[in-house]
Amino acid sequence: MLLLGLTGSIATGKSSVSNILREPPYSLPIIDADVLARKVVEPGTPGYTAIVRHFAPLIPDLLLPESECGGPNGPSGNGRPLNRPALGRHVFGDAEDSVRERKVLNGIVHPAVRKEIWKSMAKAYFSGAWAVVLDIPLLFESGWEPFCGTIMVVAVTDPVVQMRRLRERDPHLTEDDARKRVLSQTDVREKAARAEAKGKGRGVVVWNDGDKDELKREVERVMTVVRNNSPRWWGWLLLLCPPFGATVALWNYFRGWTLKRRWSEEKKREKAKL
pLDDT at 87: 92
Residues forming a β-bridge with 30: 133
pLDDT at 161: 86
Q: 69-109, pLDDT tens digit by residue?
A: 777 787 878 889 999 999 988 998 778 888 899 999 989 99
3-state SS of the chain: helix, strand, coil percent to 5?
60, 10, 30
H or E segment to which residue 33 belongs: helix 33-39
The answer to whether 151 touches 203, Cβ cutoff 8 Å, is yes
Angle at 99 between CA 204 and CA 104, to 5 degrees: 95
| CA torsion, ordered 248, 249, 254, 260, to nearest 10 deg | 120
Per-residue pLDDT tens digits of the chain, which is 274 residues long: 899 999 999 899 999 999 999 999 999 999 998 899 999 999 999 999 999 999 999 999 999 888 777 777 878 788 899 999 999 889 987 788 888 999 999 899 989 998 999 999 989 888 888 899 999 988 988 888 999 999 999 999 988 888 889 999 888 888 888 888 888 788 899 999 999 999 888 999 999 998 999 999 999 999 999 999 888 788 778 778 888 888 888 888 888 888 888 888 888 887 777 6
From the CA atom positions of the chain, what is the Rg in Å?
20
pLDDT at 274: 61
Rounded to two decimals, what is the model's pTM?
Answer: 0.80
Domains for the chain: give ranges and CATH numbers.
1-29+130-274 (3.40.50.300), 41-126 (no CATH)
